[in-house]
Structure 1
Amino acid sequence: MRSWRERLTHMVLFEALGLAIVIPASSALTGHDSGAIGVLAVGLASAAMLWNLIWNRLFDSWVPTRRRSVWQRIAQAGGFELGLLIMTLPVVAWWLQIGLVEAFWLDLGFMLFFLCYALVFNTAFDRIMHRRLTQERCR
Structure 2
Amino acid sequence: MRTTKDRVRHALGFELIGLLIFAPLASLVFGYQLFDMGLMALVGSIIATLWNYVYNLLFDHALLRLRGDVRKTTPIRIAHALLFEGGLLLLFMPMIAWHLGITLWEAFVMDIAMASFYLVYAYLYNLAYDRVFPIPPTMRAPATGQG
TM-score band by shorter chain is: 0.5 to 0.7
* Distance of 2:134 and 2:48 partners within structure 1: 25
1:3-43 deviations in Å (ceiling 9; x for gaps): 66554333222111110110000001111111111122211
Matched, 1:51 2:78: no
Query: Cα distance 1:125–1:77, how it changes in 2: closer, same or farther (>3 A)?
Result: farther
* 2:116 aligns with one of 112, 117, 120: 112
The 1:81–1:108 alpha-carbon spacing in structure 2 relative to 1, beyond 3 Å, is: same
Distance in 2 separating the partners of 1:34 and 1:119: 25
Letter aligned with residue 106 of structure 2: E
Name the counterpart of 1:66: none
CA distance in 1, matches of 2:52, 2:14: 10
Q: Deviations over 1:33-66 (max 9, x none)?
A: 111111222111122233345567879x646xxx
CA distance 1:29–1:118, change in 2 (3 Å): same
Asked if structure 2 preserves the Cα contact closer than 8 Å seen for 1:44 and 1:88, the reply is yes
Unaligned runs of 5+ in 1: 64-68
Q: Which runs of 5+ in 2 are unaligned?
A: 61-69, 141-147
**Which of the residues 74, 96, 99 maps onto 2:103?**
99
Contact 2:2 2:135 in 1 (8 A): no
Matched, 1:21 2:25: no
Whose helix proportion is higher, 1 or 2? 1
What is the rounded CA distance, in whole Å, between the counterparts of 1:136 and 1:121 in structure 2?
Answer: 21
Percent identical: 36
Deviations 1:89-138 (A, max 9, x none): 11111111100000000100001111112223334445666623x2568x
Taking only aligned residues, the RMSD between alpha carbons, in angstroms, comes to 3.5
Task: Give TM-score, length-normalised by structure 2.
Answer: 0.65
